[in-house]
Structure 1
């Protein structure tokens, strides 16, 4: 599986068009996605974005919740907010005005890789957020969790 990695800052034109980084387009095409699915982040002044395959995974995860529960209702709202942004022949998407306003984008767009997903930010806001996250990681001495835990070997003479 290819991942969305790195941060790219691209200029947005007067019509709201911006070039999607080539590496992001490659990941999307590997997911058989001809565009981006974007919705307003629940946590930040950013857009959460992915290809169709990831959105289908999210829908499957949502279906594990009780259908009329508060959690189900809250999380299902993201599907109503989602916008499909087609990538044109020049590798650009057009960001709708309401999304530009939500993020506070005027001149430049930051595409921020997050593995399976990516986000779209106003570049200065993203830099400030990233600096705060790094400081928090240092202050709290965060470390990467191990990928898998191996069971402890059984002691001699125990079944």
Structure 2
């Protein structure tokens, strides 16, 4: 699976086209689908972005719920029912749909922020506020990464 790092702010044209950061495209280069999958975040006013392999992982996780349970149905609707596969054009761009743009309040710029195995697309000033909030939460709650069970890291 791809690993997404750093933050990039790119221009969005009038047609909703935006260049996916070169570092993200490089991380995705081994994938069968040359593009990204994006859906509206159920938590924030941003877009969630994944590669195809991570979407397969999400589907496997969803299989842990009973097929017709309310939980399975809600998560499947929020994630897969809203997911938009976006193939790269010849210039490494994707086209954001009007509903995606509206959800994240994106105008002429979008911030791609790497979050490890996923990334998010934010309106740049909203991302800055989110980063301040996330850092304060991590500090105030004393958050740290868990150890890998049976692995080399501790």
Structure 2: 5+ residue stretches without partners: none
Q: Which moved more, 1:138-147 or 1:56-65?
A: 138-147
Larger radius of gyration: 1
Structure 2 residue 51 is matched with structure 1 residue 51: yes
More deviation in 72-81 or 135-144?
135-144
- Give me the CA root mean square deviation: 1.4
Q: Which residue of 1 aligns with 2:120?
A: 119
What is the rounded CA distance, in whole Å, between the counterparts of 1:127 and 1:103 in structure 2?
14
The residue aligned with 2:20 is: 20
Question: TM-score w.r.t. structure 2 length?
Answer: 0.91
TM-score (norm 1): 0.89
Change (3 A) 1:54 1:104: same
- Alpha-carbon separation, structure 2, partners of 1:149 and 1:55: 26
Partner of 1:157: none
Residue in structure 1 matched with residue 90 of structure 2 by the alignment: 89
Unaligned runs of 5+ in 1: 151-159
2: CA distance between counterparts of 1:81 and 1:144?
A: 30
Show the counterpart of 1:40: 40
